Chains A and B, each alone.
Chain A
Amino acid sequence: MIQVRRARSGDLDFICQLTLDTLDQGISELRDIPNERVRELAAENVAGYGDMMRRRRDYAFIVAHQQEDLAGFLILEFRYIEETTGEVQTLIYNMAVAPAYLGKRVDRLLVAEAARITHKRGCKYMTARITGSNERALLAALRQGFEIERYQITMACGPEGPLPMPGRPPGQRGHATSRLMRQRQRRKVASNHEPRN
């Protein structure tokens, strides 16, 4: 049975490695920054996780585990201020599930524990950010009870003004093809198999 608990210092290696392994999921498909560069930046960032873990007032680190095997983690940030209303809430700073445990509702357990901690901290809301092209994560979040509150819109800029977003080269994409693309492909496959009159 998969359970959740607060992370300990011994779990740090797992959390840092899983962060780096699942990094590509968080990169927007619209941008062209190379994955390697993002990994370099992330490596610097995860070096600070140890210090963050000790700051109990500012962060909560939660892990999911099955026996001694770690399945996923969630980092919850406290005192995150909602930009329009000024309300104090918590933010899911980062979350990831180990590939071997995908589809086993590990994310649900982690989020439920995070929500419970949020309430205990006297906050009414917990918020998170999901990359627009990560449809799988978005759908999972919506199934868990999250609702979309805000859109982040971005444009590329050039000497003449607005430019279309460059997009990622094929080998650098972290997500599977979008749902619309999949539907289009299914229709195409279906039409190829229709008997011709």
Chain B
Amino acid sequence: MSQETEELPKPRSDSPETNAIIELALAVHEGNLDRLPELKQLATRRHQEMEEAAEGFFGEVDQQGEEFFEKFRPIFEEIERAFSAYEAGLVKMLEFEEDSPPEAMDEAARILANASFGIRLYMNHYEEAYLAQGPSKFPAVNMLSNLGEHLRAGRIDIESWKDTIAKQLDIHMKAIEEIDKSEHKNDPFVPERRAAMEEVNQALRELDKLNAASPEDKFAEHLASLSRAFEDLKTAFDNHTDKQFAEGPTDAPNVNWVIHAARGVQAGTYPAHVLKGLATGVLEETQKTLHEIQLAAKSGLEEGMLSQEVARLLEAMEGMEDALSVLVAYSEDQELPREEVDDALSLLEESGNKLAEARDGVKKFNETAGQVSCVQCGASNPLGSKVCEQCQAAIPQLPGSGVYGTAGTSFQVLEGAAQDVTRDAVMTDVMKALFDKCEAFYNGEMPAEIFLSALEEAEDGIDAAEVELRKFEPPPMPPEANEEEQALAQEFIDLASDALDLLNIGLDECREGIDLMRRAATEEDVELMKEGIRFYYEGTQKMWQVRRLDKQMQAYLNNEEIPDVEPSDEAGAEPMGPSESVDLSTQA
């Protein structure tokens, strides 16, 4: 296989002075070493000119003040880098000797050409950014407004004014031509976009007729028309984009945008920097939201249903984060393996859909959940209600302090069983008493010694419950049961095992909660206190769950018909707490 040397295009610059140096450098590169002294002399002079140009530029910038510099800092830093690169090219030429490899001079010429381009490019960026400052949200309007002022003041000539307008006209004329040639010209909102561009051009043509002697209000009038035209253009563009990109494989418009852009980059129809901008933006938003949800999930006292949706949300957002990270990397390096990008797109699509579902779930939950049942009449009331809407009975409140993390949440203080295990949280007298003590300590109403002593007492209750719990085992398999009976029995034996495990876990969590409360008291850490309360609460909820299952167990053991697992409405049932044991008979 023959190797072909790829010939690079000849370096050149739009600056005549730089180009003269490049031509000399290329001559030396081609072997005309007698031109080396001339080149060095020119390069030396050019170095001084370059430094003076930089001096003059940064001097003007300095005179505008630090605030001005900070505003355009990124552009100034690029300009500084471009000057350094230009210097590097010149230095390379100055250091070239007759016995240096010729390629070094070619390299120097290319460095100089690129740097020259860079200086012009960033100077233009600066000029545009500077002129685009103003009260309008459209840079072009600000630029023409500023230039108009310069024109009237005689600081620029009419040619500069007309040149700028011609450039703007050219941009929009070309855009109109592209629409006219496109097969999508009748797509939704494209005709509106075209019409808006015509409006822009009309306003520009009116501005083109003005000169230094034209009154200021004429400038203002046509600039206002231009501004309105740009507004129409923006609206048409936004509508078109939403329509085109917001629809896609997921219900999340911003995810659809990214997927669309990534597919476009793969097909070569979309520039990579567009994908980078989109993917980076969505990734940052996702990471921020993920962090907030993680914090909320950690600190809040969650309802069972809500915690499921939060878990789904977290899963979806973590998936999106992973997928978007790959797509950002792809936007910077299109050599990334296609499979990796395709996997990321699939993950993004899946996560986007999961996110939409989880959001719907949370929304539905918020609409219907958070109900609290009245202990008197059983009616459902909105979360936070203090008085039952049905019978006007008082609904007991969890003290709304920061210690608990959820201010004003109302729970059903248990005298009977909870109405709905999936919706309502259970609060026993024992729990309430403990949490009251936590709040009292937190508010400085209870000395530390008394609080710690109360915690010890609660811990003693847990120890006692644990001792009792050790006596219980799952019921044995009936020895003479037939196959069907054995299958049913096994089901309940497993249930009993799970119940005992859950009780033990519940007790462990209560104990953990006490430990955290104790640490919180000695270290004066509110977050630890909240964590402790949460653990204790969760532990108690688990044990309460077991109590509900106990009815089924009793029925099985008494050879009675097993009821469906539903909330008991028996009144007067003893409150459940860590100091009480579960009455699981071992009778076969």
Contact = CB atoms under 8 A, between A and B. Distances in A.
A121 B80 contact: no
Interface string A96-120: 0000000000000000000001001
Interface stretch (A6-14, A24-32, A125-133, A184-192): A6-14
Interface residues of B, number: 25
B55 interface: yes
B87 A9 contact: yes
B97 to A, nearest CB: 12
Contact of B62 (A55, A60, A121): A121
B58 A9 contact: no
A60 B56 CA distance: 12
A57 interface: yes
Contacts of B48: 5-6
A19 B586 CA distance: 92
A44 B332 CA distance: 37
Nearest to A55: B80
A171 interface: no
A60 B91 CA distance: 17
Given A5-B47, A6-B47, A56 B56 contact: no
A179 interface: no
Interface in B83-125: 83-84, 87-88, 90-91, 94-95
A130 to B, nearest CB: 26
Contact of A54 (B62, B84, B94): B84
Contacts of B87: 8-9
A121 B76 CA distance: 16
Contacts of A6: 47-48, 51
A122 B59 contact: yes
Interface in B239-253: none
Contact of A60 (B47, B55, B76, B80): B55
A71 B166 CA distance: 54
A8 B58 contact: no
Contacts of B76: 57
B61 interface: yes
B59 A121 contact: yes
Nearest to B81: A54
Interface string B136-159: 000000000000000000000000
A78 interface: yes
B65 to A, nearest CB: 9
Contact of A78 (B62, B83, B95): B62
Nearest to B83: A56
B80 A56 contact: yes
B63 interface: yes
A6 B44 CA distance: 10
A9 B55 CA distance: 17
Contacts of A18: none
A74 to B, nearest CB: 14
B62 A79 contact: yes
Contacts of A5: 44, 47-48
Nearest to A54: B84
Given A8-B87, A9-B87, A120 B55 contact: yes
Interface string A55-81: 111001000000000000000001100
B91 A122 contact: no
Secondary structure call for the A interface: mixed
Interface in A33-91: 54-57, 60, 78-79, 88
B305 interface: no
A2 B364 CA distance: 85
A21 to B, nearest CB: 24
A150 B289 CA distance: 57
Contact of A8 (B55, B80, B83, B91): B91
B84 to A, nearest CB: 5
A70 to B, nearest CB: 14
Interface in A115-164: 117, 120-122
Contact of B61 (A54, A57, A120): A57
B59 A8 contact: no
Identify which of B55, B60, B76, B80 gathers the most chain A CB atoms within 10 Å of its CB. Answer: B55
B56 A10 contact: no
B62 A57 contact: yes
A191 B80 CA distance: 64
B84 A122 contact: no
A25 B580 CA distance: 86
Contacts of B55: 56, 60, 117, 120-121
Nearest to A11: B91
B36 to A, nearest CB: 15
A66 to B, nearest CB: 14
B448 interface: no
Contacts of A55: 80
B562 interface: no
A166 B528 CA distance: 56
A10 B94 contact: yes
Identify which of A10, A78, A88, A121 gathers the most chain B CB atoms within 10 Å of its CB. Answer: A121
Nearest to B84: A54
Given A8-B87, A9-B88, A122-B63, A57 B80 contact: yes
B78 to A, nearest CB: 12
B54 interface: yes
The 3 closest A-B pairs by CB, nearest first: A6-B51, A121-B59, A57-B58
Given A57-B76, A121-B55, 10 more contacts: A6-B51, A8-B87, A9-B87, A9-B91, A60-B55, A88-B62, A120-B52, A121-B58, A121-B59, A122-B63
Interface of B: 44, 47-48, 51-52, 54-56, 58-63, 69, 76, 80, 83-84, 87-88, 90-91, 94-95
26 contacts: A5-B44, A6-B48, A6-B51, A8-B87, A8-B94, A9-B91, A10-B91, A10-B95, A54-B80, A54-B84, A55-B80, A56-B54, A56-B58, A56-B84, A57-B58, A57-B62, A57-B76, A57-B80, A60-B51, A60-B55, A78-B58, A78-B62, A88-B62, A121-B59, A121-B62, A122-B63
